A and B are shown apart, each in its own frame.
Chain A
Amino acid sequence: MSAPLLDALRETFDALPASRLAAGGLGAARRAQFDAALADGLPGARAERWRYTPLRALERRRFGRADALPDIDPASVPAANLPRLVFVNGVYAPALSRVDGLPDGVALYPLSQLLETGDARDAEFLARRFPARDETFARLNAALALDGLVVRVAAGVRVATPLALVMLGAPAGGDVAVHLRHLVELGDGAELTLVEYQAAAAPQAHLVNSLVQAHLRTGARLSHVRVQREDAGASVFARTDAALASEAHYARVDLELGAALSRHELNIALQGRGARAASNGVLLADGKRHVDTRLAIDHAAPDTRCDLVWRGLAADRGRGVFHGGILIRAGADGAAAHLSNKNLLLSPHAEIDTQPVLEIHADEVQASHGATVGQLDERALFYLRSRGVPEGEARALLTAAFCAVVLEAIADADLRASLDAELSARLPQVAA
């Protein structure tokens, strides 16, 4: 009766060695989460949080599990010059990773290593339960993720060099489901830049289910850049859950450039006074791609702040979905929340669905959001053409200008340049 997708995952779960599932004392928790996912199934059309992202086609597909590491040309792996952990089809690739030369106070290692040899208490974060019925992917992740990145930065340590998390998809003789769970922990006043790549080494149609948990203690600062440029056949379900203590600062930029279906849930809990989140991003839905990003910013403490700047482009038969949820709880006085979501709809077969949401239970607040859907400014286009710029180039130029504001938030010049390059490589294809 159940969906082929879940049937196949059950076969995977049942075939996993009991010792691996039980590592870290997690056996029962994994089983419970898996049973819950099977019992509730995939969220359907009536699930409010999934109303714009149907999963019916995906539900009918089957995904296996990859064990072996395929050959990958190291030169093709992103973040070449950075310390990095690389996972290919969900399997840790030590030969492609680089963990040397890290400053004192920084621990960077794969989750599999922690589960095999580490202290079980360090793996406790994996026992987290996901209670909501529509959290199927998080539950599956909790049940099936055996690897991922763990980075811990001790109090007061400021890491100058960005660290990279690279998740690569490569052909595996069939479609596989990848489950990865990551942990980023920053002690009091610690600082870190994390660069996350979700990319394809070669065409494939895998399912990626990746969950990042980030804990920022008092005054910690995390800069997080994520580039999603998976293969046009792949399906990506990413989730980021960040919890910020007082005066912590979480700044991130997301570029959603690839995959057939990409859903990212970004949940940021501003739990301490003065905690601050800045989240910028570009959603690019061209070809037949479906890109869905869902923000949930939770202001639970006074004087918290969020600034959200997102740009969406939909072309060809693409569909861009954006949800910008801002919750200000009672008692979070002095909170400020601002969201801007602008979209370009560039084709008669494309679609944009946007939903900026404010939910406010305190009165000493400043909250606003704006959302637009429109086209490139015809007058600007005319101006450029009148100056001799060919139409295609003019469109690309205007589209790049439309997205430029998103990258302005990145302080690191090298990083900004590399993201600019990622975007510049893709935008002309959309604008044409």
Chain B
Amino acid sequence: MATERTEIERPEIDQALNRRYDAGFVTDIETESFAPGLSEDVVRALSAKKDEPEWMTDWRLKAYRHWLTMTPPEWAKLDIGPIDFQAISYFAAPKARPKSLADVDPKLLETYDKLGVPLHERARLAGVAVDAVFDSVSVGTTFRKELADAGVIFCSMSEAIREHPELVQKYLGTVVPIGDNYFAALNSAVFSDGSFVFIPAGVRCPMELSTYFRINAMNTGQFERTLIVAEERSHVSYLEGCTAPQRDENQLHAAVVELVALDDAQIKYSTVQNWYPGDENGVGGIYNFVTKRGDCRGAHSKISWTQVETGSAITWKYPSCVLRGDDSTGEFYSVALTHHRQQADTGTKMIHIGRNTKSKIIAKGISAGRGQNTYRGQVKVEKTAEGARNYTQCDSLLIGKKCGAHTFPYIEVKNPGAIVEHEATTSKISDDQLFYCRSRGLGEEDAVSMIVDGFCKQVFKELPMEFAVEAKKLLEVSLEGAVG
């Protein structure tokens, strides 16, 4: 697998890089992939390829022009070499897939086995062409009808741009503006696809929007764009990602997720991220730069983020809540694990603007091997946020001598009626705990996994049940070899 990830370093790519773009480019549109490189023409071509209306093309171009004026952020505690954005192809057709499971890296299959991934799913996850094996289309269609009956719109972003332009135009970019940050600007210019969810007023989404997603929305590409709008009094729970490691050809991911909650609406967004983390020596692995933000626009609205981050070589991700509506609530529950040479700089922002807004942050970081794990969080109480409350707890667990755990909170309070509390601890698994478990006959790995599970419990209980079970298993697998 590792060799597939390092494609960017291959000489033929270097050659492609060194080649100048010539006029022949535009006529290339009809071919399956774009040659690497980014320019206004590429953005236009991408938009054209997706049959987008003019307003969308203009929006992308505006983002692209803004991106050109920006520089990559350097404040995160991440050791990243410079990224060559001209070395990436911004529209790629699926690469050649393994023909059967026999062609798949046995290591990957072994992991699926440990995670208990059903056989028919393994092929799909491993990127095997599965259409004949697993009829995803019909399953998707079934769910779709049920959702449509409830009035819920759930489709790909491309489809939403075509079918529901008025909704997309009304909300897209209103939570994460195109110039918000370097990676969000890049995403706005070149986003490939993603999901669009619209829950009309008063509707409680009849199912967790996960099953469908996991079946149909794979390969949405490296620049994913998701928009979820929950109208007044509506409710939705959205599950992103998958516990099983996913094959992915793209090394750089820059996704944007925007959530809008109107009066009394609730959005629950759960993520399990397990992209390829690179090998033991830090070779390969996904760079994951994600901008996720929820806007509690309405009074009494609530947005809750839960994330389990175990994959990727680099994680740069701060799911945030803008608590604009009075009495609105923001929550962030996170488990981030770094092993081997993984680096994670992740946390949240809670921006209190409305009166009596409440936020809660529970962040658990686990570092093993040579992993570097940073919690970075901001709690900001504006002058207008009378009666605002925040409680933050972030704990770090160290497994091994060479890893690092860091905590960088930013607490900014401008309202004297606010109460903000932040607590953080860092320690290793205590010898006492281990000794106790061992004396009860548990093996060392089991004992560690039990303690880690307890450490993460506050977060896991926020996950939908099946996800929680998977997440627990995932941690066990991810921590293999960390002890002893």
Closest to B416 in A: A345
In the assembled complex, the CB of B451 is this many whole angstroms from the nearest CB of chain A, namely 14
Bound complex: CA A18 to CA B191 (Å): 63
Check if A365 sits within 8 Å of B409, measured CB to CB. no
Closest to A315 in B: B416
Check if A365 sits within 8 Å of B417, measured CB to CB. no
In the assembled complex, the CB of A3 is this many whole angstroms from the nearest CB of chain B, namely 24
Bound complex: CA A358 to CA B365 (Å): 13
Check if B406 sits within 8 Å of A359, measured CB to CB. yes
Residues of A contacting B412 with CB < 8 Å?
52, 351-353
Bound complex: CA A357 to CA B413 (Å): 17
Find A355's partner among B401, B408, B425 (CB 8 Å cutoff): B408
Closest to A342 in B: B421
Check if B428 sits within 8 Å of A365, measured CB to CB. yes
Check if A360 sits within 8 Å of B416, measured CB to CB. no
Check if A369 sits within 8 Å of B419, measured CB to CB. no
Q: What is the size category of the interface that chain A forms with chain B?
A: 20 to 34
In the assembled complex, the CB of A49 is this many whole angstroms from the nearest CB of chain B, namely 11
B407, CB-defined interface residue at 8 Å: yes
B257, CB-defined interface residue at 8 Å: no
Check if B399 sits within 8 Å of A363, measured CB to CB. yes
Closest to B419 in A: A374
In the assembled complex, the CB of B429 is this many whole angstroms from the nearest CB of chain A, namely 9
Bound complex: CA A274 to CA B400 (Å): 22
Find B406's partner among A345, A348, A351, A358 (CB 8 Å cutoff): A358
Residues of A contacting B409 with CB < 8 Å?
355-357, 371
Residues of B contacting A358 with CB < 8 Å?
396, 405-407, 424, 426
The B-contacting residues of A in range 369-391, CB under 8 angstroms, are: 369-375
Residues of A contacting B400 with CB < 8 Å?
363
Check if B419 sits within 8 Å of A348, measured CB to CB. no
Bound complex: CA A52 to CA B413 (Å): 12
Contact code string B143-172 (vs A, CB < 8 Å = 1, else 0): 000000000000000000000000000000
Closest to B420 in A: A373
In the assembled complex, the CB of A318 is this many whole angstroms from the nearest CB of chain B, namely 12
Find B404's partner among A352, A360, A364 (CB 8 Å cutoff): A360
Contact code string A329-369 (vs B, CB < 8 Å = 1, else 0): 01000000000000101111011111111111111111111
In the assembled complex, the CB of A213 is this many whole angstroms from the nearest CB of chain B, namely 28
Find A370's partner among B77, B383, B399, B422 (CB 8 Å cutoff): B422
Residues of A contacting B12 with CB < 8 Å?
none
In the assembled complex, the CB of A349 is this many whole angstroms from the nearest CB of chain B, namely 8
Check if A372 sits within 8 Å of B416, measured CB to CB. no
In the assembled complex, the CB of A322 is this many whole angstroms from the nearest CB of chain B, namely 9
Check if B398 sits within 8 Å of A365, measured CB to CB. yes
B229, CB-defined interface residue at 8 Å: no
Closest to A337 in B: B426
In the assembled complex, the CB of A307 is this many whole angstroms from the nearest CB of chain B, namely 15
Check if B418 sits within 8 Å of A355, measured CB to CB. no
- Known contacts A366-B427, A368-B424, A369-B424; decide if A352 and B410 are in contact (CB<8 Å): no
A48, CB-defined interface residue at 8 Å: yes
Check if B401 sits within 8 Å of A357, measured CB to CB. no
- Known contacts A353-B411, A374-B418; decide if A368 and B406 are in contact (CB<8 Å): no
Residues of B contacting A343 with CB < 8 Å?
413
Check if A369 sits within 8 Å of B407, measured CB to CB. yes
In the assembled complex, the CB of A352 is this many whole angstroms from the nearest CB of chain B, namely 5
9 contacts between A and B (CB under 8 A): A345-B415, A348-B415, A355-B410, A358-B396, A358-B426, A360-B405, A365-B427, A368-B426, A373-B381
The 10 A-B residue pairs with the shortest CB-CB distance, nearest first, are A363-B398, A358-B407, A367-B426, A363-B428, A373-B420, A368-B425, A373-B413, A374-B419, A371-B422, A345-B416
Known pairs A351-B414, A368-B425; list 8 more (Cβ under 8 Å). Answer: A345-B418, A353-B412, A359-B77, A365-B427, A371-B411, A373-B413, A373-B420, A374-B420
* A interface, CB within 8 angstroms of B: 48, 52, 330, 343, 345-348, 350-375
* B interface, CB within 8 angstroms of A: 75, 77, 381, 383, 396, 398-428
